[in-house]
């Protein structure tokens, strides 16, 4: 039997592994590995119950994996009717307020005194040369979220009731870590998402643009920015009310998202007010311009709207060295300004319209111009 101080250190180690995780995958792997170590197992896994699809989905396999087990499997799922304990037996255990408990199964069937529906797990243990496993339900917000699974080889001692109780504690620590990460993910989502359209916001664009320009400087990959100003929003607000204006913004956001999907990895964003953008890294300048043309055409067909003024700046065009995000934004702004001034129905492209580069370097002085190009020092 493992001493209390050893188990306490194991719990602390698990909590630390979870706290150090920066992504969901790191959390899953850290939790499975730490739980496996804590229970002296050879293999650990974390699975989530996808209620809407009626299946258990394996998130991570850690430790001594069998040839058919990937670390982060894309398609390892099991219909819950093959493991009904998660919906039947376990639910009955805690539906009335009782705490969920882990249980043990062996290659010969359920361990003595244990409940469970063993046939599928028994088959898996035998097929992969494992002698026993302990399965601990992970409960989040009072509902079954998934399970923590730890196994030992056939020549190792079988898990006992004490191990199962400890696995229950470990699963509670994992649940707390998952809940914390979900809260952090929600905070990140809110911090980088425009609440009206659901698109990325300016903060998200700034972060991504810095990243892709760093890659551009390293390997020359093409970075393009499409800046759009939605025409006629003020008229819609004044004539039909702000609710109609919001609907126009949402509809254009959907069009922008649709067009962005034509460019692999594109980020569609609302910068604020009636200003939107697409940011791409990889697609050629010609491909981006074609999508910008499609965007302008689709925007022109929106009810109540008056189309968009669209400017494009791409490192794939002759625009000179782009050493900062501010510079690329200023070029796209200048192209957009030209499109708006000319009432162009299609995009104006920096490096293809001779007036854009000089305009970016010497922006219009008018204080009435709502678009003051981003910091003239760019």
Mean pLDDT of the chain: 87
The reply to whether 358 and 225 lie within a common domain is yes
170, 191, 212 — which closes off a domain? 191
In the chain, % of residues over pLDDT 70: 87
191, 221, 240 — which closes off a domain? 191
* Residue 234 neighbours by CB under 8 Å, 6+ apart: none
Could you tell me the CATH number of the domain that includes residue 132? 3.30.450.40
Instruction: Identify whether 197 is part of a domain.
Output: no
Q: Can you name the residues that pair with 134 across neighbouring β-strands? A: 104, 150
The reply to whether 147 and 187 lie within a common domain is yes
Instruction: Identify whether 342 is part of a domain.
Output: yes
What would the two tokens of residue 80 be? 């819950």
In the chain, % of residues over pLDDT 90: 63
Q: What is the pLDDT of residues 89-144, one digit of tens each?
A: 455 454 444 567 888 989 887 666 555 555 678 888 999 999 999 999 898 887 78
Domain of residue 321: give its range: 202-376
pLDDT at residue 376 in the model: 42
- Residue 35 buriedness (CB in 10 A; 0-12 / 13-18 / 19+): buried
Q: E-strand spans in 125-244? A: 130-140, 143-153, 223-230
Instruction: Identify whether 372 is part of a domain.
Output: yes
pTM > 0.75: yes or no: no
Instruction: Identify whether 196 is part of a domain.
Output: no
Q: How many domains does the chain have?
A: 2
**Is the CB of residue 346 less than 8 Å from the CB of residue 310?**
yes
Buried b (16+ CB within 10 A) or exposed e, 218-254: eeeebbbbbbbbbbbbeebbeeeeeeebebbbebbbb
């Amino acid at each position: 039997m493992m001493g209390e101080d050893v188990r306490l250190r194991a719990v602390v180690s698990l909590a630390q592994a979870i706290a150090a995780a920066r992504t969901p995958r790191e959390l899953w792997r850290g939790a499975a590995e730490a739980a496996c170590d804590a229970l002296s197992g050879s293999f650990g896994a974390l699975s989530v119950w996808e209620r809407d699809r009626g299946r258990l989905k394996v998130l991570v396999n850690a430790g001594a994996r069998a040839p058919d087990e990937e670390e982060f499997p894309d398609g390892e799922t099991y219909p819950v009717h093959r493991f009904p304990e998660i919906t039947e037996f376990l639910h009955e255990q805690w539906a009335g307020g009782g705490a969920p408990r882990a249980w043990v199964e062996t290659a010969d069937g359920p361990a003595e005194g244990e409940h469970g529906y063993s046939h599928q797990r028994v088959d898996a243990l035998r097929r992969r040369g494992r002698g026993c496993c302990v399965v601990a339900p992970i409960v989040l917000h009072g509902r079954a979220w998934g399970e923590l699974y730890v196994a030992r080889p056939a020549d190792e001692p079988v898990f006992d009731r004490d191990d199962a109780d400890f696995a229950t504690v470990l699963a509670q620590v994992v649940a707390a870590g998952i809940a914390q990460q979900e809260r952090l993910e929600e905070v990140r989502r809110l911090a980088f998402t425009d609440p009206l359209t659901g698109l990325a916001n300016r903060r998200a664009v700034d972060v991504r643009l810095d990243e892709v320009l760093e890659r551009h400087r390293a390997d020359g990959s093409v970075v393009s920015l499409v800046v759009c100003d939605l025409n006629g929003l003020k008229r819609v607000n004044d004539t039909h009310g702000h609710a109609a204006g919001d609907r126009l913004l949402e509809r254009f956001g959907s069009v922008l998202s649709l067009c962005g999907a034509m460019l692999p990895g594109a980020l569609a964003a609302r910068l604020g007010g009636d200003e939107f953008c697409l940011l791409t890294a990889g697609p050629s300048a010609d491909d981006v311009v074609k999508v910008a043309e499609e965007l302008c055409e689709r925007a022109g067909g929106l009810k109540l709207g008056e189309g968009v003024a669209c400017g494009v700046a791409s490192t794939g065009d002759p625009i000179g060295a782009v050493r900062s995000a501010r510079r690329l934004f200023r070029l796209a702004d200048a192209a957009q300004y030209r499109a708006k001034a000319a009432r162009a129905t299609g995009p104006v492209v920096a490096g293809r319209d001779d007036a854009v580069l000089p305009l970016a370097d010497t922006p219009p002085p008018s204080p009435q111009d709502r678009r003051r190009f981003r910091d003239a020092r760019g």
